[in-house]
């Protein structure tokens, strides 16, 4: 039987924790020397010296551009997001954005970009994917997933397409509950798997799972479901299967402390433990890490988790680390006129007069989720241009307020738009999310991201009015 030191080293080799603070804590340094696979950087970790990934330490970050950013979390992303790129449908631009994200992430020490989102956003009510996806058409999503991966790789980082087997046909956020896909098994295969097949064809070396249930494949979420993960291998993928964060309610509430063992047993190779700054965390990043590792070691000792499965997972991660040692993010990021491109990606629905500001903004957006940067609260203030920001239940004072939404297919936001349309027909909607299936009762600007870049686009288009012509 493998001794405790060897078991601890094997367990360390499949763990991908987060930590608190700007600088790497002593416990991470200690475990790194003992074979820890890497770390995931979150907003609270950025701003100090970059993490050194030179020994193949896997330093990951969720830098998607657009709605989800770590680097630009303080103000919102200045990079084009997936839904904007899908609207442009120019794979050369998507490839360039991928390279930009890789090089910018590399400046923080990150050699793993946990992107692109390979989900096909089939349900416009989706609370966790939305504009993070390139779109609702599997062929479009597939070609842009491939381009994004190529760009990230050319920028000197490892791309991690997510969330297998496709989170786009769900209406529950897996951070807060267990989503069950609304797709039939055939649609899951024909609509939601093709982008992951494209990712494999593009040379993806890591793919991240989703905590969602495909009923035809069993009652457990994909992260802990061997049938679901076998579907990934059936696509020809031989690299590292990474779990989505194991502190999310979809697995934490279902499996408790057994979640890491269940994920490994199902076929995951690298376990993203948590963002210890999330609500519900113990607040002790080291204790959380040690508890997960101890549970894995105990499971091997008891025979609950086969030693061979842990060894196989650790070997796959070690191979990826060997590849990471050869990466370099040095070089200039491609130059893009992001403002012009964001303008082209936007869509004007209806007609409205110029609104140069100051403006009255009715902020009817949904509450932020764990996955999406919460700094978007500043976006309403930026659109107001020195005017006022009011809640959706308040009666706007002006005749031409701006209604700020991010999920207009959601009944609450649609009702808010309808109430204002009945009282203030001169109002304009600024939609930071996916366009709803039905036309809105007010003129609208669909800017396709909750980002600083998208809000700047909305501000410029409001100032010009609907007669403004989109740049070619």
Question: Binning pLDDT at 50, 70 and 90, where does residue 356 land?
Answer: very high
* Predicted local confidence at residue 470, as pLDDT: 43
pLDDT reading at 33 higher than 50: yes
- Please say if the pLDDT value at position 374 is more than 80: no
Residue 269's CB is within 10 A of a number of other CB atoms, namely 26
User: Whole-prediction pTM value?
Assistant: 0.95
User: With 50 as the cut, is the pLDDT of residue 472 above it?
Assistant: no
Enumerate the active-site residues: 175, 244
Mean of pLDDT values over 173-177? 62
Average pLDDT, the chain: 92
Domains of the chain: 4-324 (3.20.20.300), 338-464 (3.40.50.1700)
- What is the pLDDT, as a whole number, of residue 172? 60
Mean pLDDT of 141-149: 98
Q: What single string gives the DSSP state of each residue in 170-230?
A: --S-TTTS--B--S-HHHIIIIISHHHHHHHHTT-SEEEB---B-GGG-SS-GGG-HHHHH
The pLDDT value given to residue 46: 92
Residue by residue, DSSP assigns 310-338 as HHHHHHHHHHHHHHHTT----SPPPP--H
What percentage of the chain reaches a pLDDT higher than 90?
81
pLDDT (tens digit per residue) in 284-299: 999 999 999 999 999 9
What are the residues whose beta carbons fall under 8 Å from the beta carbon of 448, sequence distance 6 or more?
66, 81, 83, 84, 87, 131, 345, 346, 347, 432, 433, 434, 454
Q: Once rounded to an integer, what is the mean pLDDT over residues 420-441?
A: 94
Coil, helix or strand at residue 15: strand
pLDDT value at position 171?
67
Task: Return the DSSP state at 34.
Answer: T
Give dist(CA 443, CA 427) in Å, integer: 7
Give the percent of the chain with pLDDT over 70. 95
CB 39 within 8 A of CB 274: no
pLDDT tens per residue across span 301-349:
999 999 999 999 999 999 999 999 999 888 899 999 999 999 999 999 9
């Amino acid at each position: 039987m493998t001794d405790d030191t060897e078991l601890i080293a094997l367990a360390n080799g499949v763990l991908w924790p987060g930590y608190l603070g700007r600088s790497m804590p002593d416990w991470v340094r200690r475990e790194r020397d003992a074979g820890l696979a890497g770390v995931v950087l979150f907003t609270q970790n950025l701003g100090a010296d970059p993490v050194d990934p030179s020994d193949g330490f896997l330093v990951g970050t969720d830098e998607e551009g657009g709605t989800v950013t770590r680097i630009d979390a303080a103000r919102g992303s200045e990079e084009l997001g997936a839904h904007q790129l899908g609207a442009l449908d120019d794979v050369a631009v998507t490839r360039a954005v991928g390279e930009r994200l890789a090089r910018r992430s590399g400046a923080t020490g990150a050699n793993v970009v946990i992107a692109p989102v390979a989900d096909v956003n089939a349900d416009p009510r989706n609370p966790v994917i939305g504009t993070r996806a390139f779109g609702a058409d599997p062929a479009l999503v597939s070609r842009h997933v491939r381009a994004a991966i190529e760009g990230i790789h050319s920028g000197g980082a490892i791309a991690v397409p997510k969330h297998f087997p496709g989170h786009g046909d769900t209406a529950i956020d897996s951070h807060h509950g267990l989503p069950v896909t609304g797709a039939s098994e055939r649609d899951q295969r024909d609509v939601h798997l093709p982008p992951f097949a494209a990712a494999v064809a593009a040379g993806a070396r890591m793919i991240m799972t989703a905590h969602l249930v495909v009923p035809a494949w069993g009652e457990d979420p994909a992260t802990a479901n061997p049938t679901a993960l076998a579907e990934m291998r059936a696509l020809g993928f031989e690299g590292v299967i990474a779990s989505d964060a194991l502190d999310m309610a979809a697995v934490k509430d279902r499996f408790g402390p057994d979640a890491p063992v269940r994920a490994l047993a199902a076929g995951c190779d690298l376990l993203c433990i948590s963002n210890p700054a999330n609500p519900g965390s113990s607040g002790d990043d080291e204790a959380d890490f040690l508890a997960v590792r101890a549970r894995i070691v105990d499971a091997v000792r008891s025979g609950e988790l086969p030693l061979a499965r842990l060894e196989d997972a650790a070997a796959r991660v070690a191979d990826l680390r060997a590849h990471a040692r050869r990466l370099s993010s040095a070089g200039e990021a491609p130059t893009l006129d992001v403002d012009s491109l964001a303008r082209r990606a936007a869509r004007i629905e209806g007609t409205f007069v110029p609104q140069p500001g100051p403006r009255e903004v009715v902020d009817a957006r949904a509450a932020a989720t764990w996955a999406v940067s919460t700094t978007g609260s500043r976006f309403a203030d930026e659109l107001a241009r020195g005017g006022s920001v009011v809640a959706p239940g308040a009666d706007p004072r002006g005749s031409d307020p701006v209604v700020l939404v991010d999920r207009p297919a959601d009944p609450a936001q649609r009702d808010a738009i309808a109430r204002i349309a009945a009282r203030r027909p001169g109002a304009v909607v600024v939609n930071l999310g996916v366009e709803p299936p039905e036309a809105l009762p007010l003129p609208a600007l669909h800017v396709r991201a909750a980002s600083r870049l998208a809000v700047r686009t909305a501000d410029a288009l409001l100032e010009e009015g609907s007669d403004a012509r989109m740049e070619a």
